[in-house]
Structure 1
Amino acid sequence: MNEADALDILQAAIWTIVVASGPAVAAGMIVGVVIALIQALTQVQEMTLTFVPKILAIMITIGISAPFVGAQISLFANMVFSRVQSGF
């Protein structure tokens, strides 16, 4: 394995992390923006109001997108194992 192979694996790892965490981060961001708009419109500035809906949205999104995330991680693992196998 040379430097180019190591960089390819590192790039694939970072991309897998971004893709796998994307749905949960997007759900948290969307719910956070919606709640911030509601708080700005109603002038209710309760700090704990944002946590429960975000946590629920992220947990539901993780449950729904688990097969997709698992497939992405499996693809990455197969790519790494195939490179290790062909390298030796």
Structure 2
Amino acid sequence: MNELMLLELARTAITTLLLVLFPLLAAILAVGLLVSIVQAVTQVNEQTLVFIPKIVVAFLVVLFAGSWMARQLAAFTVEVLTMLPLLRR
């Protein structure tokens, strides 16, 4: 395995990771921002109030997009496993 193959594998791994985590992180960020705005407007300064909506949204995102996330990770795993014979060189 030469350096170009290793760099390509690392790039693909990082790209797959970002692609799979983006929906989850974006949803949690949006809910956190909305709850923070509501807290600022209503002057409710409860720090634990933001956790329940984030947990619910994270569960919903995984529920609806989990199969897509798993397919992406499975495709990357198959790609890495097919490259295993090339790693010995």
* TM-score when normalising by structure 2: 0.91
C-alpha separation between the residues in 2 aligned to 1:62 and 1:23? 9
Asked if residue 58 in structure 1 is aligned to residue 58 in structure 2, the reply is yes
C-alpha separation between the residues in 1 aligned to 2:7 and 2:55? 35
- The corresponding residue for 2:20 is 20
After superposing on structure 2, the runs of 4+ consecutive aligned residues of structure 1 that deviate more than 6 Å are: none
1:3-82 counterparts in 2 under 5 A? 3-82=3-82
1:72 corresponds to which letter in structure 2? Q
Whether the aligned pair in 2 keeps the contact of 1:35 and 1:50 (CA below 8 Å) is yes
2:46 corresponds to which letter in structure 1? E
C-alpha separation between the residues in 2 aligned to 1:80 and 1:41? 49
**1:84 Cα offset (Å):** 2.0
* TM-score when normalising by structure 1: 0.92
Whether the aligned pair in 2 keeps the contact of 1:23 and 1:62 (CA below 8 Å) is no
C-alpha separation between the residues in 1 aligned to 2:8 and 2:79? 10
CA RMSD of aligned residues (A): 1.1
Unpaired runs of at least 5, structure 2: none
**Percent of aligned pairs with the same residue?**
31
